[in-house]
Structure 1
C-alpha cells in the first residue's frame, strides 16, 4: 500500500483540508468547543499536520474522523463513504455481534458471532473504532460499530489491517465452535448485502416463518396495521419525512379516522428505526392522540424506542412523553435528549469527504442524560431475531400492570 503523501502535491491537498477544517468548522458549528477546549483541538490539528508526510490516505481520513468526532456532538462527523466493503452485514445483539447477511460464498458464517479480527479480540477492535464515530452514548455506538467493522479503509486507517483488501475474521458458530475465514473486500456496486446504512433488516431469502412486525415493510417511511385479535393498531414511523407517493398528512388523517371509528383499545407507535428528519411533521398526530381517551390511558398507548431512535425521531418520542400517558418500551435511544442538531454540511476541498455540523442546541427534556431511557428496557437477543420473535411487542401484550408514577403527575 503506497503512501498518499508521497508527493508535495498530495501533501498540499491535505494541508488545505486541515486549514479548511480549522477555519470552517468552528465558524459554522453553533458551539464547537462545548466539550473540548479550542487550544486542545487546535493543538491536535497541528500535530496531525506535522505527521501528514508519513501517513497513508486511510490513516489521514481516520485521524480527521477522530478529530471531528472528539467534539462530542453526534451530529458533527466526517462522512467517509466507502468504495469497498466486506460482503457481510453485522448487528450488535444483546449477546454480541452477529452476521445477519452474507454474500454467496460466505453462507457458512451466517448467524455466527464475530469474536476476532486479524487475531485481535472484538472488544479491542470496538475500542479503536469508537474514536472515529461521533456519539454521545453507548447505544449509538452499538448501532454504528457493526457498520464500520465491514469497511476496509476504516480498519486499515486505524492500523487494524495491513491489507484492506482482505481480512481474517474469526466467528463462533451456533455450536460455539471457532470458524476463521479469509474475507475479501468488494466494490460497493458488486456487494449484494451492503445496505449502505446501519440498523437491522430482514434476512434473505426469507424463512417460511413471517417476519415480525418490526422488520415488516422495513423500507417504508411509515405504515400502520390493525391487529384485531388484540384490539391494537401498530404504527411504525421509520423516518420523519414526507413520502410524496403517500403524503404524510393524508396518511395521518386516515389513521386518525380509523382510530376514532374502529374498535381499537391500544395504539403502539414504533420509533425504533427512526433516526431523524423533521420532528414537526408528526406533531398534529401527537396532538390528536392526546385527546383520544380510549387510547391515551395507562395500557392503551405505547411508544417503542431503541438505539436507532435519534435526532427528530427521539424528539417525537419525547413529545409523546410530555403530552400523553404513553408507556415507553425498548432500548435506550441513540440520541441524547438535550443536545445539538439542525444539521448542515460542507465538502472538504479536493476530496469526496463531507463534514456535518450542528447549528442549534435543543433542550427537550428536564432531565440531563446521555440517552432517553424507556420505562421498560427490553433488549433484542440474537435468539429472538433468529426465531422471528419480537420481545418488545411480547412484553407489551403481556403487560399486567400498565401504570407509572408519572401518570399521577399528569392527572
Structure 2
C-alpha cells in the first residue's frame, strides 16, 4: 500500500511539474512586440552579471511599464529608442541594443556627420552642394543648441562616460527618427542644421531624411585635410612603420588575429625591425581599438618587455573594452606612458557579452556576463591619459597627428 501511495505521489508531482511548464510556455502576450520586451527584460534580469548596479529593480520596472503602456501607439523606431533608453539606465556600455541589419534599412538617414574638437563640434560630411561649409562649427539643429542635442542624446546611448557619447554622438543624431524621439524636431518637421563660420555668420543647411538606397547614391562631400597622416587608422588589424630613425610606430586596431598574418608572425616581423635599427622610442596606437580578445596581443608584449626603449600608448574615445585592457597591459608590462584622450569604456566594469536576437522585432541586444576589476580600487569613470592632448582643429586641418607630433617633439 505504501508503495502504491508513493507511486501516486510521484505521479502527481510529475503532473504538477508538467502543468507548470505548460502554463509557462502558454503565456499570452498582447502583441509580438510585448513578447520581445518581456523576454528581453527576463533575460537581462536572470543573466546579466549585475543588472541593478546603477538602477534599482523597482525603478527599472517602472520604465518597463511605461514602455508597455504605450506599445500600441509606438512606431517601430519609437519602440527601438525606448529600448535604447531603457538599457542606457543600466549604466553598462556593453549592454545595448541595435538593429540586426543596417540601420538605414529601417530609419531615414540624414546626410551629415560631425566631429569633436577642443573648440566644439564641426561638420565633416554634407551633401555635395554644401561642401563649402565643411569644417564650420555646429551651432544646433532647428531651435535646439548642439550642447542641448548632446545632453538629450545621452538618454539613448548606453555609456559609462562622456567619451563614449563623443564617439557615438554623430552616428546617433544623423537619423530623423532619433531627433523626433528626442523631441529635437517635431514629427515630419523640416530639419535645419545650423552652422557658423569664422565670420560668425550663421548658415542654415536643410537636411532631408533619406532611405538606404538614397543615402548610398547621393553625392556626399567629405572634409579634406591638407594631407592624411601616415599614422591615421587603416583597415589593417595591426601594422608597424618607422616614424623616424629613433621612433617605431605600432598600430593595433582590433583585438583579433589577422587571418592573413598571425600575431606570432607579426611579432617576429617587429622583432626583426627592432634588431635591424636603433630605435629609442616605440609608440603603440590603441586609439581605434574597441575590443575583442584581450590575449591576442600577448606575444607582442612579451617580446617587447625586455627592450630598453621608451614606450608610449595612444588612447582615445574609441578605445573600449579589451582595447582598454591592452592599454593597461602596456602600462604594467612596458611601463608605457598613456597619451591622448580618455577612453570610451571604464577600467573596472562589466563585459564578456552575449548576443540575443529578438524573436519578432529586427533588433538584437547584448548583455554583460562578467565583472572585470582591472585596477583594484580604481574609482574614475574612464582610463585617463598621463599626457592629455587636445584635438586642435587647425592641426587636424593640416593633416597632423597631434599625439604623435607631441611624442616626436618630446623625444628628440
TM-score category of the 2 structures, normalised to the smaller one: 0.7 to 0.9
1:341 lines up with 2:331 in the alignment: no
Name structure 2 gaps, 5 residues minimum. Answer: 1-28
SS in structure 1 at match of 2:303:
helix
Aligned to 1:272: 287
In 2, Cα distance between equivalents of 1:370 and 1:396:
26
Aligned residues of 1:97 and 1:146 also touching (Cα < 8 A): no
In 2, Cα distance between equivalents of 1:263 and 1:187:
54
1:388 lines up with 2:388 in the alignment: no
In structure 2, relative to structure 1, the CA distance for the partners of 1:173 and 1:73 (3 Å cut) is same
Name structure 1 gaps, 5 residues minimum. Answer: 1-9, 195-202, 403-411
Q: Report the more deviating stretch, 275-284 or 24-33.
A: 24-33
Aligned residues of 2:339 and 2:403 also touching (Cα < 8 A): yes
Aligned to 1:7: none
SS in structure 2 at match of 1:316:
helix
Aligned residues of 2:124 and 2:222 also touching (Cα < 8 A): no
Query: For 1:78-117, what aligned pairs fall within 5 Å after superposition?
Result: 78-80=97-99, 81-83=103-105, 84-117=108-141
How far did residue 213 of structure 1 move? 3.0
Aligned residues of 1:97 and 1:114 also touching (Cα < 8 A): yes
Aligned residues of 2:238 and 2:252 also touching (Cα < 8 A): yes
How far did residue 180 of structure 1 move? 0.6
Aligned residues of 1:86 and 1:183 also touching (Cα < 8 A): yes
1:358 lines up with 2:371 in the alignment: no
Query: For 1:64-83, what aligned pairs fall within 5 Å after superposition?
Result: 64-80=83-99, 81-83=103-105
Aligned residues of 1:275 and 1:308 also touching (Cα < 8 A): yes
In structure 2, relative to structure 1, the CA distance for the partners of 1:154 and 1:390 (3 Å cut) is same
Aligned to 2:143: 119
In 2, Cα distance between equivalents of 1:35 and 1:162:
32
Which of 301, 309, 319 does residue 309 from structure 1 map onto? 319
Aligned residues of 1:88 and 1:193 also touching (Cα < 8 A): no
Aligned to 2:4: none
Which of 212, 222, 228 does residue 244 from structure 2 map onto? 228
In 2, Cα distance between equivalents of 1:329 and 1:235:
14
Q: 1:352-408 deviations in whole A, cap 9, x for unaligned? A: 1111111111111132211111111112122221111122112112227x9xxxxxx
Aligned to 2:390: 379
Aligned residues of 1:97 and 1:113 also touching (Cα < 8 A): yes
Which of 162, 173, 189 does residue 138 from structure 1 map onto? 162
In 2, Cα distance between equivalents of 1:192 and 1:109:
21
In 1, Cα distance between equivalents of 2:292 and 2:132:
38
How far did residue 165 of structure 1 move? 8.3
Aligned to 2:261: 246
In 2, Cα distance between equivalents of 1:166 and 1:187:
16
In 2, Cα distance between equivalents of 1:373 and 1:67:
28
SS in structure 1 at match of 2:399:
coil
1:159 lines up with 2:183 in the alignment: yes
In 2, Cα distance between equivalents of 1:52 and 1:275:
34
SS in structure 1 at match of 2:350:
strand
In 2, Cα distance between equivalents of 1:165 and 1:252:
55
Aligned to 1:45: 64
In structure 2, relative to structure 1, the CA distance for the partners of 1:205 and 1:67 (3 Å cut) is closer
Query: For 1:280-299, what aligned pairs fall within 5 Å after superposition?
Result: 280-293=295-308, 295=309
Query: For 1:164-243, what aligned pairs fall within 5 Å after superposition?
Result: 167-192=191-216, 209-215=226-232, 217-229=233-245, 231-243=246-258
Q: 1:34-57 deviations in whole A, cap 9, x for unaligned? A: 111111111210122112233333
In structure 2, relative to structure 1, the CA distance for the partners of 1:193 and 1:110 (3 Å cut) is farther
Q: 1:316-362 deviations in whole A, cap 9, x for unaligned? A: 00011111221111001111001111112112221111111111111
**RMSD of aligned Cα (Å):** 2.2
How far did residue 251 of structure 1 move? 1.4
* Count of equivalent residues: 376
In structure 2, relative to structure 1, the CA distance for the partners of 1:107 and 1:193 (3 Å cut) is farther
In structure 2, relative to structure 1, the CA distance for the partners of 1:388 and 1:125 (3 Å cut) is same
Which of 5, 22, 44 does residue 41 from structure 2 map onto? 22
Instruction: Give the TM-score taking structure 1 as reference length.
Output: 0.86
Q: 1:121-154 deviations in whole A, cap 9, x for unaligned? A: 1111111110110100111111111221212221
In 1, Cα distance between equivalents of 2:129 and 2:79:
33
In 2, Cα distance between equivalents of 1:150 and 1:345:
25
Larger Cα-atom Rg: 2
